Structure 1
Amino acid sequence: MRSTFKVLFYLKRNKDKKQPVVPVMGRITVNGSISQFSAKLSVPESLWEVNGGRAKGRSVEAERINRHLDNIRTQIGKHYQSICDRDSFVTAEKVKNAYLGFGEKYRLLLESFEKFTSDLQKRVGIDRSYGTWKRYHKSIDHLRSFMHREYHVSDIPLAELEQSFIEQYHVYLKSILGLKPMTVSGYLKCLKYVVKIAFNNGWMPRNPFALYQYTAPNPVRNFLTEEELRRMMTTRLRYRRQDYNRDMFLFSCFTGICYADMASLTYDQLEQDTNGDWWLSGNRQKTETKYVVKLLPYPLFILDKYRGLAGNRYLFKLSSLDSIDDSLKNIARECGIDKQLSFHIARHTYATTICLSNGVSLEALSKMLGHKHITTTQIYAKVTQPMIDREINMLREKLGSKFSI
């Protein structure tokens, strides 16, 4: 015989206390057995419809509340159906425990984070970069310290997460650790993504961070000017390791290929066309998007200079990204460049100084950089004074004497 099943919501009023908003409770009924739970939501009493067990009206707030309640009802319904299909009996308490994630085992945040990061590490060099894994790995340390400081716990059940958790974590990263906005944004995205995966896997009844948004202000993207690039190419350096790291950086400046993709470049990716020109193509580790680059004379010179040094398969043998970035800071000083260099600046230099400043279209540049969306390429598009001069000169030629006095 099919069991009877119902979910309804009601307000938990406090007669002895005036409340501007009242907590919403849920009640699960299965064959006469009843189990109650918190909907983790509070609403103004004037907005509540007792008979319907939901917010009344069509205001934005009412729709938000009802959407939240409908999501809970749907999730509970899924757990109820799953128990019915699996077990010979079902009770309200059993359904509630399944909804709250209190089944055979709690699903914990750090535990889930560590599992995801471990799986991610296996994909490094295949379809994920080392930098991505490193960011998630570092996130675990920050989350562990945050929970110990704010909640005095070593881990927390996924079902107990609230939006306030990520809000407090944001404050912790920004104020206590003093991290920069872009770094904070990266760690918040890691947390949101892992929780989203947990929700999609059915490990938690709802996604508490779904509506939380934080967009870091766009930082100033540095790049080398033509004069700085020439200085980088011609300055004599003291150490062979510096010379090699400088050449790897310059290869990226003239091709736009990022560190992760350069580290995995093979001779199979080199192709020569019918005109005798050489091309490099491949799929980016970060996005799996195809990139195609025609090799200019200087990167061809670097290829010939180090041919065979990394063996017969790979083009180059790069040091770790941290090591190269540290080396670039010393190289910049020796070259008289007053900029905080990192390997990624080479990609911006290629986009701005090599391509856009010399008339390459944004659409073509997007293809060469391997971007999925042209909006990403626009981040690299710096409007320089020479570019403005060139466009104005072209405009002057086109207008001619049309508007002469």
Structure 2
Amino acid sequence: MRSTYRVLFYTKNQAVKNGKAPIMGRITINGTQAGFSCKKEVSLALWDVKANRAKGKSEEARTLNQELDNIKAQITKHYQYICDHDSFVTAKKVYNRYVGFGEDCHTLMALFKEQLESYKEKIGKGKAESTYRGLVADYKSLLLFMKTKKNIEDIAIDELEKPFIEDYYTWMLGTAGNANATAFNRVNTLKWLLYIAQERGWIRIHPFVSFECAPEYKKRSFLSEDELQKMIHIELNHKRQRANRDMFLFMCFTGLAYADLKAITYMNIHTDSDGGTWLMGNRIKTGVAYVVKLLPIAIELIEKYKGVNERKISPDNVFPVGEYQAMLGSLKFIGKKCGCKVEVTPHLARHTFAVLAILKGMPLETLQKVLGHNSILSTQIYAELINPKVGEDTDKLCERIGHVYKLAM
């Protein structure tokens, strides 16, 4: 047995309840470590910090120490087995064997990591970088929940039950302070992982299928026509700021999302028999087709960046789209300079286009095709932001009775 092998126990003092603290364990092997919960509690007055066990000869102390000795003996047995059968021993390998994560055991976080790596390889090939960033955030959230709430870093998929996702949802809304929509999306990510496990035959019944929650979506923001004019005419000193503003304007007049803007090439631009210019492609996020007849200002912006290959992914790309965070920071600055009432982000352009299109009379069925929405229900959200008919009908009412009722002098 290697001399660097060690198992010690300690209390998690920041989680004390009713004077008792959870007992944690740590396996150390050749510089590698793996922590775990012993699923035991002890009064702080009874715990010997230096000896890493309960002190005294009381029945409670003797029982607890015997249980800790049994845990250590079990871990040591698994350590010895791996030493005999594997040339490379780590604390994680011993821990996995101790908790039952053998070669045939499929775990939740291992599956999540696998899906993250698979998605990352497909970025730019039908998958959006923004969606990947969201999945990474979902992974970190789930791992934090398991560490802080469950005292574990992974769990066997066949051990998952409905209370797990119920606790996770409650934790997100409470301790983590997540918005309702964020918690809803992360629940769906977790359900998606379990559907994959079910398809692979790792589990027979999906443990979370009966758990339901509903999002409370925030009202979507958009630029007014006055604010849009200010964005067009604002004087900017830096070349990159001007480029980010121009790309934002192109999205405002086409309805493209950031990922779609980054993906478009001159192959996506087509001219019809009447001389009209069209932009056609498939949304990176969903793969759904979109088709936009370009307005004159959008055509001007395309022409402006023809032959300007600096910062473009390739000469075939229409615009020199940089990293999302860089564009976001630039647009926030420009928005403040223009005095916009809402925070200007890349996706705000898509909302602005949708609202502008509805205000100017574009039917929802047409807008659905332009935006590349799977369902017209997604498009109707924009119609709920404004209702031009209310304004038109109120104007008619004003024409009929506006001059009839006046305040007494």
TM value normalised by structure 1: 0.69
- 1:364 maps to which of 353, 363, 366: 366
Matches within 5 A, 1:69-108: 105-108=104-107
Residue 289 of structure 1 contacts residue 372 of structure 1 at CA under 8 Å; is this kept in 2? yes
Please tell me the residue identity of whatever aligns with 1:136: L
Residue 255 of structure 1 contacts residue 350 of structure 1 at CA under 8 Å; is this kept in 2? yes
Q: What's the CA shift for 1:308?
A: 2.2
CA RMSD of aligned residues (A): 2.2
Please tell me the residue identity of whatever aligns with 1:124: I
Query: What residue in structure 2 maps to residue 70 of structure 1?
Result: none
Query: What residue in structure 2 maps to residue 194 of structure 1?
Result: 193
Residue 220 of structure 2 contacts residue 385 of structure 2 at CA under 8 Å; is this kept in 1? no
Give the distance between the partners of 2:347 and 2:186, measured in 1 at CA. Answer: 19
Query: What residue in structure 1 maps to residue 287 of structure 2?
Result: 288
Indicate how the Cα distance of structure 1 residues 234 and 385 shifts in structure 2: closer, same or farther if over 3 A, else same: farther
- SS of corresponding position for 2:341: coil
Q: What's the CA shift for 1:140?
A: 1.7
Give the distance between the partners of 2:396 and 2:299, measured in 1 at CA. Answer: 32
Please tell me the residue identity of whatever aligns with 1:308: G
Indicate how the Cα distance of structure 1 residues 244 and 280 shifts in structure 2: closer, same or farther if over 3 A, else same: same
Answering whether residue 329 of structure 2 is matched by residue 329 of structure 1, we say: no
Give the distance between the partners of 2:125 and 2:172, measured in 1 at CA. Answer: 30
Can you give the 5+ residue segments of structure 2 that lack an aligned partner in the other structure? 1-99, 400-409
Indicate how the Cα distance of structure 1 residues 303 and 145 shifts in structure 2: closer, same or farther if over 3 A, else same: same
Q: What's the CA shift for 1:221?
A: 0.3
Query: What residue in structure 1 maps to residue 321 of structure 2?
Result: 318
Query: What residue in structure 2 maps to residue 109 of structure 1?
Result: 108
Answering whether residue 251 of structure 2 is matched by residue 248 of structure 1, we say: no
Please tell me the residue identity of whatever aligns with 2:196: I
Matches within 5 A, 1:1-400: 105-309=104-308, 310=312, 311-353=314-356, 355-384=357-386, 386-390=388-392
Indicate how the Cα distance of structure 1 residues 370 and 188 shifts in structure 2: closer, same or farther if over 3 A, else same: same
Give the distance between the partners of 2:219 and 2:270, measured in 1 at CA. Answer: 36
Q: What's the CA shift for 1:285?
A: 1.4
Give the distance between the partners of 2:389 and 2:339, measured in 1 at CA. Answer: 25
Give the distance between the partners of 2:130 and 2:214, measured in 1 at CA. Answer: 20
Indicate how the Cα distance of structure 1 residues 387 and 255 shifts in structure 2: closer, same or farther if over 3 A, else same: farther
Q: What's the CA shift for 1:360?
A: 0.5
Give the distance between the partners of 1:221 and 1:315, measured in 2 at CA. Answer: 28
Query: What residue in structure 1 maps to residue 10 of structure 2?
Result: none
Give the distance between the partners of 2:203 and 2:139, measured in 1 at CA. Answer: 20
Deviation digits for residues 19-64 of structure 1 (CA, Å, limit 9, x no counterpart): xxxxxxxxxxxxxxxxxxxxxxxxxxxxxxxxxxxxxxxxxxxxxx
Aligned residues with identical type, % of pairs: 35
Give the distance between the partners of 2:217 and 2:143, measured in 1 at CA. Answer: 28
Q: What's the CA shift for 1:317?
A: 2.0
Give the distance between the partners of 1:121 and 1:134, measured in 2 at CA. Answer: 9
Give the distance between the partners of 1:391 and 1:294, measured in 2 at CA. Answer: 30
Q: What's the CA shift for 1:279?
A: 0.5
Give the distance between the partners of 1:276 and 1:312, measured in 2 at CA. Answer: 24
Give the distance between the partners of 1:230 and 1:155, measured in 2 at CA. Answer: 52
Give the distance between the partners of 1:361 and 1:112, measured in 2 at CA. Answer: 43
Give the distance between the partners of 2:102 and 2:180, measured in 1 at CA. Answer: 39
- SS of corresponding position for 1:291: strand
Indicate how the Cα distance of structure 1 residues 274 and 392 shifts in structure 2: closer, same or farther if over 3 A, else same: farther
- SS of corresponding position for 1:292: strand
**Relative to structure 2, which stretch is displaced further, 386-395 or 188-197?**
386-395
Residue 255 of structure 1 contacts residue 299 of structure 1 at CA under 8 Å; is this kept in 2? yes
- SS of corresponding position for 2:292: strand
Residue 126 of structure 2 contacts residue 287 of structure 2 at CA under 8 Å; is this kept in 1? yes
Residue 357 of structure 1 contacts residue 387 of structure 1 at CA under 8 Å; is this kept in 2? no
Query: What residue in structure 2 maps to residue 34 of structure 1?
Result: none
Indicate how the Cα distance of structure 1 residues 112 and 385 shifts in structure 2: closer, same or farther if over 3 A, else same: closer
Deviation digits for residues 107-159 of structure 1 (CA, Å, limit 9, x no counterpart): 10000111111111122212221111111122221111111111211210001
TM value normalised by structure 2: 0.69
Q: What's the CA shift for 1:206?
A: 1.7
Give the distance between the partners of 1:394 and 1:321, measured in 2 at CA. Answer: 45
Q: What's the CA shift for 1:312?
A: 2.9
Deviation digits for residues 349-381 of structure 1 (CA, Å, limit 9, x no counterpart): 11111x100110000000111111111111222
Residue 250 of structure 2 contacts residue 298 of structure 2 at CA under 8 Å; is this kept in 1? yes
Give the distance between the partners of 1:301 and 1:395, measured in 2 at CA. Answer: 41
Give the distance between the partners of 2:300 and 2:192, measured in 1 at CA. Answer: 43
Please tell me the residue identity of whatever aligns with 2:335: A
Give the distance between the partners of 1:336 and 1:396, measured in 2 at CA. Answer: 32
Can you give the 5+ residue segments of structure 1 that lack an aligned partner in the other structure? 1-100, 398-405
Deviation digits for residues 307-352 of structure 1 (CA, Å, limit 9, x no counterpart): 1223531101211222212221111110011211211111111111
**Relative to structure 2, which stretch is displaced further, 386-395 or 106-115?**
386-395
Give the distance between the partners of 1:250 and 1:191, measured in 2 at CA. Answer: 36
Deviation digits for residues 180-202 of structure 1 (CA, Å, limit 9, x no counterpart): 22222222211111111111211
